[in-house]
Structure 1
Amino acid sequence: MAASASHMPNPILLGCGAVSVDYLATVASFPSPDDKVRSLALKVQGGGNAGNALTAAARLGLAPRIISKVSNDALGRSILKELQDDGVDTSYLMVAEDGNSPFTYIIVDNQTKTRTCIHTPGYPPMRPEELTKENLFAALHGADMVYFDVRLHETALLVAEEASQRKIPILVDVEKKRDGLDELLNFATYVVCSAKFPQAWTGASSTPVALVHMLLRLPNIKFVIVTRGEKGCLMLERSMTDASETEEIDVEGLLESLEQKVDSSSSMPKCIVSKSNLRISADGVGSMSGRLVLGTAELIPSEELVDTTGAGDAFIGAVLYGLCTGMPVEKMLPFAAQVAACGCRALGARAGLPRRLSL
């Protein structure tokens, strides 16, 4: 039974990272330089990876808390109110009296269904000393999971070190290489990353080879998920028992065998899982014990696809929910794909995020 439907308290999730206000303008097609175009639709709503993922998690039934920073301006007040209205605890969100809160201009191309982001960071930036020990301990008290989007990296490392000492599981969401990333990954229990990151970080020849490389390089990681947009996701999960006596199987060949089992006629997300406790190898990298999991995306009809902004954040919010409520991988990945698809049916990162009862 989901925690939100039981008599037990909702699992507590602490997140540290980016919040912002998004100005979303839909245009018929992306303008050329020096063009003047009119928007087809305009929406102003909260954004930022951490803000979006925690909003998704709150709507699904978790009790999120957030560590971040805004300024005491109109944007900052709207960021706070929107998070609070969705059930995100903002007690540990710092408010600067001066400066500006972060915001992003997002141009949504109605023709190609792509979005282009122009971000203005908040000022002054968050300093790690602003998070007092008292607030850090209070924020972590009772937390079932800690989540980072690799922003505010100095503060994030303080939180990660204390969470690690308390043996609280940590999920790190990685879009690209950022300051403090490598140190933060050393504390991670789970990693969810963008399609380009594994190869960029490891220099591997392909994504599956890069995933093997990541698990060998980060021995504390239980699994890595790489999101691939409309292609779904790929997960490499470490086995708890050693399969060194088992015959090795090449990770690229293993992925090909899973891809052959995909039912292209089905519009709903599915999970295709290899045998457990395989000895999975990658040429020139090494081998590890685990299983490979291929998750398909929900096929969204073109007339229903509005905007992909925040789809990855919605996916991560659902993965966090799945982990906190003990959902098996075979159920968690299709569930996360379904939540992400809901978000793509509305303009902006949050307008389409579902509530648990609506799924």
Structure 2
Amino acid sequence: MSCESSLPENSIVVGCGAVGVDFLATVAAFPKPDSKIRSTSFKIQGGGNAGNALTCVSRLGLKPRIISKVADDTQGRSILDELQADGVDTSFMVVSKEGTSPFTYIIVDSQTKSRTCIHTPGFPPLKPVELPESSLLSALDGARIVYTDGRLHETALVVANEAVKKNIPILMDAEKLREGLDELLKFVDYVVCAAQFPQVWTEASTVPRALVSMLLRLPKVKFVIVTLGKDGFIMLERSVNDVGLSAEEEDVDKLLESLEIRKNGSIYHPACISSSVKKLRAEGIGSLFGQLYVGTAENIPPSELIDTTGAGDAFAGAILYAICANFTREKMLCFAANVAAAKCRALGARTGLPHHTDPRLAPFISCSSFTSSS
């Protein structure tokens, strides 16, 4: 039996969010104001959180469908062509006869390995009326999970409402505060956050306290992951069964400290450790039964680290895959860190995204990995 035939039967992922074109210029060092410099390399490639995450999902072997909008211009046509070439179903995309497609200028600093983005949104923006109910129902037909990046929030809310009616779980990539984000978060089951988001959204003094606050404020959410770049990741998962557990509380900040001590920062490949299920207390916020996970990013040699653009999208795409494939939580997190690290070895958000046949993913993806889909 081939690995392709052993993929989860229910492998359709529906995403709603941003697509665009990225103009990536690598420079020796970030320019000073009113200066002129030359790029050392240049690349034009598809981008946008949703477009990147669903490209990742497709390369890993699943069947993504995307809901977004482009204009009928040169950039819009290239966006659609690239997504289709990567196996993403674009039949639910809205193509406007007027306006402009989204694009982003990205400056990649070779010294610091950082990237600076200047984004120009598409116009006019996608409105729910442009997505007929028949198209929405067709898009969600047979879907295993729904993804949103928090953009196109009015349409994303319509998609989320229908997904909840059909008992389709939703994963949200929460990058930063956006219009409509609070309303959208009420519908989701899983959250993947950028490093600063939990504390900005909750106003908590530490990341662990912020994660507790998020789960208390969002009772539908099963877990929240915060990605920390080269410092790895932290995940807090709600315990669904606290019957018989000790009522003794443990401070969530102290628990994180104890896990960090156990984490070996010298290893080269991503690793993950977790606490047992505990009643976790966040000072001044409250407590809940949950399990804390802490992990490392891959220690990429400087000579191999090219560009971090889209690393978070790659991580989120891998989490979508892992949910569909019923990975354990530890396996899911290490897998996502591996996929993100592979992406960082090439310029742009998509060039380095690995395919499911990539030897680096063999410890995670094999015929034996795919059993049943829940």
Aligned equivalent of 2:60: 60
Q: Deviations over 1:273-305 (max 9, x none)?
A: 101x21111111111011000021000000100
Q: CA deviation at 1:246?
A: 2.6
CA contact (8 A) 1:3 1:61 kept: no
Q: How does 1:224-243 map to 2 (within 5 A)?
A: 224-242=224-242
Aligned equivalent of 2:259: 258
Aligned equivalent of 1:357: 357
Q: Distance in 2 between matches of 1:4 and 1:325?
A: 13
Q: CA deviation at 1:27?
A: 0.4
Q: 1:192 to 1:54 in 2, by over 3 A?
A: same
Q: Distance in 2 between matches of 1:144 and 1:25?
A: 37
Q: Distance in 2 between matches of 1:238 and 1:264?
A: 26
CA contact (8 A) 2:10 2:144 kept: no
TM-score normalised according to structure 1 size: 0.98
Aligned equivalent of 2:34: 34
Q: 1:2 to 1:115 in 2, by over 3 A?
A: farther
Instruction: Name the aligned partner's letter for residue 248 of structure 1.
Output: E
Aligned equivalent of 2:302: 302
Q: Distance in 1 between matches of 2:70 and 2:30?
A: 31
Aligned equivalent of 2:316: 316
Aligned equivalent of 2:205: 205
CA contact (8 A) 1:53 1:317 kept: yes
Q: Distance in 2 between matches of 1:50 and 1:74?
A: 20
Q: 1:103 to 1:75 in 2, by over 3 A?
A: same
| 3-state SS of 1:136 partner | helix
Aligned equivalent of 1:268: 269
Deviates more, 1:75-84 or 1:1-10: 1-10
CA contact (8 A) 1:298 1:337 kept: yes
Aligned equivalent of 2:12: 12
Q: Distance in 1 between matches of 2:212 and 2:352?
A: 35
Instruction: Name the aligned partner's letter for residue 264 of structure 2.
Output: D
Instruction: Name the aligned partner's letter for residue 18 of structure 2.
Output: A
Q: How many residues are paired up?
A: 358
| Unmatched segments (≥5 aa) in structure 1 | none
TM-score normalised according to structure 2 size: 0.94
Deviates more, 1:260-269 or 1:80-89: 260-269
Aligned equivalent of 2:340: 340
| 3-state SS of 2:143 partner | coil
| 3-state SS of 1:357 partner | coil
**Identity percentage of aligned residues:** 62
Q: CA deviation at 1:42?
A: 0.3
Q: CA deviation at 1:347?
A: 0.3
Deviating beyond 6 angstroms after TM superposition, the runs of 4 or more aligned structure 1 residues are none
Q: CA deviation at 1:3?
A: 7.3
Aligned equivalent of 2:370: none
